[in-house]
Amino acid sequence: MWTRKLTWPGEGNHTDWLVLYKHIKVGRVMYQTTYATKEWNWSVQLYPASLGYADTMEEALEAVRQWCLKIPDLEKQIDDKRNRKGMYAWGDGT
C-alpha cells in the first residue's frame, strides 16, 4: 500500500512529501525552484538509493514507486525498518 504524508505538517507547505510503503518511509518528493527551473525532486531512501527530477508531483511519486519495485529485497528492507523503528527519529517507523 503506497501513501504519502506531508514532511512538515502544520506549516502550510504542500510541496514536500514523504513517500510511504506499508506505512514505512521509502522516499521523498519535493518541489524545488531555482533561477532557471521549477521541478519536482524525488529520492528513494532504501538500498540501492536513487534520486531524480520530474515535471509533476505525480511523475515524481511514480518514479519513487517504480524504483522501489525494482529492489529485489524490498519486503525485507521494509520489515527491517519496521523492526528497528525505535532507532528512527520519526518515532512512528517512518
Has residue 92 got a pLDDT over 90?
no
61: enclosing H helix or E strand: helix 57-69
Number of folded domains that form the chain:
1
80 lies in a domain? no
79 lies in a domain? no
For the segment 14-24, the average pLDDT, to the nearest whole number, is 94
For the segment 56-80, the average pLDDT, to the nearest whole number, is 95
88 lies in a domain? no
- What phi and psi values does residue 65 have, to the nearest 5 degrees? -60, -50
12 lies in a domain? yes
Tell how many helices (H) and how many strands (E) occur in the chain: 2, 5
81 lies in a domain? no
For the segment 20-41, the average pLDDT, to the nearest whole number, is 88
Has residue 73 got a pLDDT over 70?
yes
25 lies in a domain? yes
Enter the C-alpha cell of residue 86. 525505535
Enter the C-alpha cell of residue 66. 517504480
Has residue 56 got a pLDDT over 70?
yes
86 lies in a domain? no
Residue 36 belongs to domain spanning: 2-71
